[in-house]
Amino acid sequence: MKQNTTPSTKSFGIVGYPLSHSLSPLIHNSLYKEKGIDAAYSVFESPELNRKKIEELISAGVEGISVTIPHKETAFSLSDRADSASEIMKASNTLVFRNGSINAHNTDGEGALRSVLESFPDSLETGKTLILGSGGSARGIAYSFAKSNRLRELLICSRNETTGKEIADLIGENSPVRVGYVSPTSIFDFRNEISLVIHTTPLGMKGQAPGPFLETDFFHPGIVLFDIVYNPLVTPLVSAAQESGCRIIPGSEMLLFQAMKQFELFTGTIPDERDILNTRKRLAQALNGR
């Protein structure tokens, strides 16, 4: 969606690589238009994020950016101030530039938690929650879920044992939740104890390796799968879970709710239920066309 801009138009955008799949401009620019906010949201695709890139954006008048793969840990490292999720988990998906300061926020966890609470809240309490992956998204999600006071136990499973154990240690040090790292080769041993699986890696995303992360016979009807990949909505992991009778939370829900919080951080305006419903419809239409 192209915006008509003036010298007073506020500028925001998204930084990551690749970004051809991103629906963030659709979300934010549509909300600006509907709510009469003089702002524009652009794509700043870049394989690198560093201090020079941030300074270029600020010099161009950009007041805030969404940050996606692979720059979330770098975004935190470049910040002057950070919210608690970013500070503890060392990853941020939002940078706001105000009064000469780079302020880091992590809305991934809040967006993911709200997605689960509005879809299948029982999945948080009937068994263990399993997070697949140990990148920037996994960090924010693990933090918010651990702080929710809803979990029985949290398991982190990633191919990178070092970062997976690091997340488990950070959660263990900063919350009362029982948490542990499990290797991909041993995760099947916990199959019948798990009620919620949250997949946070790029596997299955358009243009990335298809996966799935787990063997297809891992799933059973007692599991809720939340794959945060939204393009396509039906990844190999989602397909395997559906065939086993699992309930599914689409990745577009996290995209929706984390963007609502980013919109608030950028503009100071809190989206209402109508904004959420309209954005959900727009996302569904856009994804159905892909």
Q: Is 262 annotated as a binding residue?
A: no
Q: Is 228 annotated as a binding residue?
A: yes
Distance CA 40, CA 54 (A): 18
Q: Is 156 annotated as a binding residue?
A: no
Assess contact for 245 and 221: CB atoms under 8 A: yes
Give DSSP secondary structure letters for 41-102.
EEEEE-S---HHHHHHHHHTTEEEEEE-TT-HHHHHHT-SEE-HHHHHHT--SEEEEETTEE
Q: Is 64 annotated as a binding residue?
A: no
Per-residue tokens: 137: 């998204």
Q: Is 167 annotated as a binding residue?
A: no
Q: Is 230 annotated as a binding residue?
A: yes
Q: Is 36 annotated as a binding residue?
A: no
Q: Is 136 annotated as a binding residue?
A: yes
Element (H, E) at 251: helix 251-267
Q: Is 198 annotated as a binding residue?
A: no
Cβ atoms within 10 A of the Cβ of 116, count? 24
Q: Is 201 annotated as a binding residue?
A: no
Q: Is 135 annotated as a binding residue?
A: yes
Assess contact for 155 and 163: CB atoms under 8 A: no
Per-residue tokens: 231: 């393009």
CA distances from 42 to 17, 36, 151, 180 (A): 14, 18, 37, 39
- The catalytic residues are 72
Q: Is 245 annotated as a binding residue?
A: no
Q: Which residues are 251's β-sheet partners?
A: none
Show binding-site residues.
Answer: 22-24, 68, 93, 108, 133-137, 228, 230, 251, 258
Show binding-site residues for shikimate.
Answer: 22-24, 68, 93, 108, 230, 258
Show binding-site residues for NADP(+).
Answer: 133-137, 228, 251
